[in-house]
Amino acid sequence: KEFYVHDGVKLIEGTPKPISYYGISEEISAIDAVFFWPKNRKTYLFSRTFTGAEMTSQIQ
C-alpha cells in the first residue's frame, strides 16, 4: 500500500509514501497500473476493484 516515485533511474527522496497520502481509499489493497497523461496533466490509477482516480496531490 505504498506509492513509489522515481525519475527513471532512482527513487525520489521522501518516497515511498502510503497510497492514502494521495487521497486514495484505504479499501484499495493494490494498484495494478498507473500512467500520467501530459495532455490533460492527470494521473490515472487502475486496480481490479477501482479505475480512473485523479490524484489530489502533485508529484514533482
pLDDT values of the chain reduced to their tens digit, one per residue, 60 residues: 788 888 889 998 988 888 888 788 888 877 888 888 899 888 888 877 555 555 554 443
* Count, residues in the chain: 60
pLDDT the model gives residue 60: 37
> Residues with Cβ < 8 Å from 27, sequence gap 6 or more?
none
pLDDT the model gives residue 10: 92
For residue 36, the cross-strand partners are 43
pLDDT the model gives residue 30: 77
The 3-state secondary structure of the chain, one letter per residue: CEECCECCCCECCCCCEEHHHHCCCCCCCCCCEEEEECCCCEEEEEECCEEEEECCCCCC
**pTM across the whole model:** 0.53
pLDDT the model gives residue 59: 41
Question: Would you say 14 and 8 are in contact if contact means Cβ atoms under 8 Å apart?
Answer: no
